[in-house]
Amino acid sequence: MPDALTTTPAPTSAGPGADPASSLLVRACRRAQGEGLPVWFMRQAGRSLPEYRKVREGIAMLDSCARPDLVAEITMQPVRRYGVDAAIFYSDIMVPLKAAGVDLDIVPGRGPVIAEPVRDRAGLDRLVPPEPGDLSFVTEAVGLLVAELGATPLIGFAGAPFTLASYLVEGGPSKDYARTKALMVGDPALWDELCTRLARLSAHFLRTQVDAGASAVQLFDSWAGSLSAADYAASALPWSTRVLAEVTDVPRIHFGVGTGELLALMGEAGADVVGVDWRIPLATATERLGPSYAVQGNLDPALLGAPWPVIEERVREAIRSGASAPGHVFNLGHGVPPDTDPDVLARVVDLVHAEGPAIRADVLEP
């Protein structure tokens, strides 16, 4: 693989010479959508793209995240291929933990694996605070991307403290988060200190991306859906609030899986946009959230392997349902599955762009 990679200018959704702040995505996030309907996909840069597999060949995940040229190339790949209305920064929620001295690896087919799980104060003390310059590779990569993207916005992201804590405590992915929940309720002082440190790390990661030019951010609380509303409010919400409070100068998207019963609380954490998975209609989510939030979602990613007539009707259904919200960013209800045909995603983007504004306007017409 060459030492440096080049990118080509991305399509823009805001017109020649426009600023990302006036893009379809940012306007929708600000609940000033107008006639357009922006679309991007979680995990749009990744394993479903042959060009991604080619440039990642022989390079470990975390190593790829630390190479600005490679980060820029991978981030740009879906923008070039699909013409989506936003790029999502190619990285991983584990990157700040790695920078904080956590011995971890991302194992193919399994996910993050922590060498020494954090389950007591000794483990907690192994987390070092962020230092200026420890994410210089992120700053460099964002700078490369902003220059290439032009008017197309870049979305920065980070993992929420609860989700990061669950990986640290469990030592890797979990089905029931039993150790995490036991620590959360059994030693609230330790949990408070752990999440406080993780909130600083996540906020530092987001702030670094925004200061370098990201136009919006998404906070992933992937495993928040494992919590009851009461436990989320007591033991996750306060620290997500601290993270999102550090990036009030850009639109903030807050997303979790299985969080239909937590949507209003996730909005209260400081979101401008609440991401909704495929389990409830966007119209139902809007009823729970009220008029103060835009929504993002929510085609079931598992349906991307269905016949096209089925997919296109489900896309239209999601657009109709999202029209009840004051802003709608079309997306999947979770990330792009690795076996997805890229041509299907391209057709979804074309359909959203071609029919989305008219469908939304038809629903909103008095």
Identified catalytic residue from 47, 80, 288, 314 = 47
User: Which amino acid is it at 359?
Assistant: I
Closest CA to 43 of 337, 351, 352: 337
Residue tagged active-site, from 56, 81, 200, 360:
56
* Measured distance CA(85)–CA(330) in Å, rounded: 10
DSSP H or E run through 203: helix 188-212
Describe the crossing of helices 136-149 and 68-82 by its angle, rounded to 10 degrees: 30
Sheet holding 87-88: strands in order across? 87-88, 154-159, 216-220, 252-255, 273-275, 294-299, 328-332
Cα–Cα distance measured from residue 59 to residue 56, given in angstroms and rounded to the nearest whole number: 5
Residue 362 designated active-site:
no
How far is residue 131's CA from residue 135's CA, in Å, rounded to a whole number? 8
- Is residue 92 annotated as part of the catalytic site, yes or no? yes
Q: Which residue of the set 80, 92, 231, 314 is catalytic?
A: 92
Q: CA 68, CA 52: separation in Å to the nearest integer? A: 15
User: Rounded to whole angstroms, how far apart are CA atoms 220 and 241?
Assistant: 13
Which is catalytic among the residues 27, 43, 119, 252? 43
Which of 167, 177, 232, 293 is catalytic? The answer is: 167
Q: Is 43 a catalytic residue?
A: yes
Catalytic residue at 207?
no
Q: Which residues are catalytic?
A: 43, 47, 56, 92, 167
